[in-house]
Homo-oligomer: A and B are copies of this chain.
Amino acid sequence: MKGIKGFLIDLDGVMYTGDRPVQGAETAIRFLEESGCSYRFVSNTTRKSRGTIAGQLARMGLDVPERFIFTPPLAAVAYMKQAGRDRCWFLITGDADRDFGPACRPSSVDFVVIGDAGEKITYESMNTAFRYVMGGAGIIALEKDRYWMAASGLSLSAGPFVAALEYATGTTAVIVGKPSPEFFRLALNDMGIGPHEAAMIGDDIVTDIAGAQATGMRGVLVRTGKFREESLRSSPVRPSAVIGSIADLPEILGQQAGRRQGTGP
Contact = CB atoms under 8 A, between A and B. Distances in A.
Given A160-B165, A160-B167, A167-B160, A119 B126 contact: no
Contact of A123 (B119, B127, B131, B169): B119
Contacts of A163: 163-164, 166-167
A142 to B, nearest CB: 16
Interface stretch (A149-157, A184-192, A224-232, A235-243): A149-157
Nearest to A159: B167
User: Among the interface residues A146, A154, A167, which one has the most CB atoms of the partner chain B within 10 A?
Assistant: A167
A138 interface: no
Contacts of A155: 127, 130
Nearest to A126: B156
Nearest to A134: B154
Given A127-B155, A131-B153, A156-B130, A146 B122 contact: no
A16 interface: no
A19 interface: no
A120 B123 CA distance: 7
Contact of A122 (B121, B147, B169): B121
Interface residues of A, number: 30
Contacts of A134: 147, 154
A153 B161 CA distance: 20
A214 interface: no
Contact of A147 (B119, B121, B168): B168
Contacts of A126: 121, 156, 160
A123 B121 contact: yes
A161 to B, nearest CB: 6
B168 A159 contact: yes
Interface of A: 117-124, 126-127, 130-131, 134, 146-147, 153-156, 159-161, 163-170
27 contacts: A117-B123, A119-B122, A119-B123, A119-B124, A120-B123, A121-B122, A122-B122, A123-B156, A127-B155, A127-B156, A130-B147, A130-B154, A131-B154, A134-B147, A146-B168, A146-B170, A147-B168, A156-B168, A159-B167, A159-B168, A160-B164, A160-B167, A161-B164, A163-B164, A163-B166, A163-B167, A164-B164
